[in-house]
Amino acid sequence: MAAITPEELNLLIEQTYKVENEFNELKASYAHLQDTVEKVVEFLPNAVWILHKEDETVFLQNSHARDLWQLLKLLEYKEEDYEIKFNDHSFLIKSSAYQDKLMLSAIDITEQKRKENLATMGQMAAHLSHEIRNPIGAISLMSSTLKKRVIPENIPIVEEIQRSVHRIERIIKATLMFSKGVEAHKKEFLWSELRESLNLSIDYYGYAKEITFIFPDEDFKLNGDKDLLEMLFSNFIANAIDAIEADDNEEGVVEIRHEKEGKKHIFFIYDSGVAIENEKELFEAFKSTKVKGNGLGLVLSRQIAEAHNGTVSLCDGLKKCFKIVIA
């Protein structure tokens, strides 16, 4: 065997270094690519699992997938997308296969499904409200006529019919407004005008217990839609009356306090009735925290406040107090 010359040895060493450098560059490039893929997968808003097809062990996953590791046990590869319910959430499952890898993706569509259901319920409720409106109007008219003709002993019965009709009319009005959306037509009016309308609304609502209503005595100007603001305050007052009726005490208090902060009017509505059971469902449509509710009163009240560049929220630290801001 011929001896390797120094020149050939140097060339071999150079080639070895060159191969090693190329290998290190390739390794660095692969590590960079792997890091990029991991970052892209982590960046995705949905849960992603990449599995070894042979034994379905996890090759790569993002943090959303780690949080939903129990969901992975319920998933299977399908050519078509499908939906699955897990922990009160709805997920859209997508899957694909490539060579020896299988990818599964879970997208949380709970909010999308909720909005679709609300839209459907709103359409149905609006249709029913239109159908009910005419007979309710006829009953209201006939009860007014009947009240003038019955003997005095029967007047309380007719008045109870009128109060029941008034409740139904409020529900119909709220349902139709929810389906169409809130639009405020603003003009200046006095608080005393609104207070007078609220007192009439209280008389129509009806209640069995001794309830004291405390409203601001001072008069001040408001710039807004009087009818909408009457609905807003009436909703809270009705809720307060129901809370007091559900309480063990035979007496109760509903109080509205007013403050002025620049151009903003801030109202605090308090009642002495039972505490709110589920704060999370307060402003969710068609979910009511009380037996008599239809789940639209507080939702519409918030929308009315927002139409007046304002807000509705629970008072800090108090469960039976709401803060209403009207700009």
For position 53, what pLDDT does the model report?
87
Residues 223 and 169 in one domain: no
Residue type, 205: Y
For position 2, what pLDDT does the model report?
59
Cβ atoms within 10 Å of 266's Cβ, excluding its own: 15
Instruction: Indicate whether 176 belongs to any domain.
Output: yes
CATH number of the structural domain spanning residue 87: 3.40.1840
Instruction: Indicate whether 59 belongs to any domain.
Output: yes
- Please report, in tens digits, the pLDDT of each residue of the chain (327 residues total): 556 777 777 777 777 777 777 777 777 776 766 677 667 767 778 899 989 988 889 888 888 888 998 999 888 888 889 999 998 889 999 998 888 889 899 999 888 887 776 667 667 766 766 677 778 778 888 888 888 888 888 888 887 787 777 777 776 776 666 666 778 889 999 999 999 999 988 887 778 889 999 999 999 999 999 988 998 998 899 888 988 988 888 899 999 999 998 889 999 999 998 887 766 667 665 555 554 555 567 888 888 899 899 999 888 655 588 999 988
**Which residues neighbour 280 within 8 Å (Cβ) at sequence distance 6 or greater?**
none
Per the CB < 8 A criterion, the answer to whether 121 and 286 are in contact is yes
Q: Looking up tokens 């993706």, which residue turns up?
A: 105
| Distance, CA of 214 to CA of 222 (rounded, Å) | 19
| Distance, CA of 303 to CA of 310 (rounded, Å) | 9
For position 279, what pLDDT does the model report?
67
Residues 325 and 273 in one domain: yes
For position 26, what pLDDT does the model report?
75
pTM metric for this prediction: 0.55
Residues 249 and 322 in one domain: yes
Residues 197 and 263 in one domain: yes
CATH number of the structural domain spanning residue 326: 3.30.565.10
Residues 150 and 196 in one domain: no
For position 288, what pLDDT does the model report?
56
| Distance, CA of 93 to CA of 182 (rounded, Å) | 37
Structural domain boundaries, residue 168: 111-181
Residues 177 and 189 in one domain: no
Say what angle helices 226-245 and 191-205 make with each other, to 10 degrees: 40
Q: Which helix (H) or strand (E) holds 313?
A: strand 311-314
CA angle 267, 185, 322 (to 5 degrees): 20
* Chosen domain end from 156, 181, 206: 181
> DSSP string covering 37-69, please?
HHHHHHHSSSEEEEEETTT--EEEE-HHHHHTH
The contacts found for 309-317 with CB under 8 angstroms, 24 or more apart, are: 310/264, 312/232, 312/283, 314/276, 314/279, 314/282, 315/268, 315/270
Per the CB < 8 A criterion, the answer to whether 270 and 321 are in contact is yes
* Chosen domain end from 55, 78, 108: 108
Local structure of 187: helix, strand or coil: strand
- Please tell me the total count of domains within the chain: 3
For position 14, what pLDDT does the model report?
77
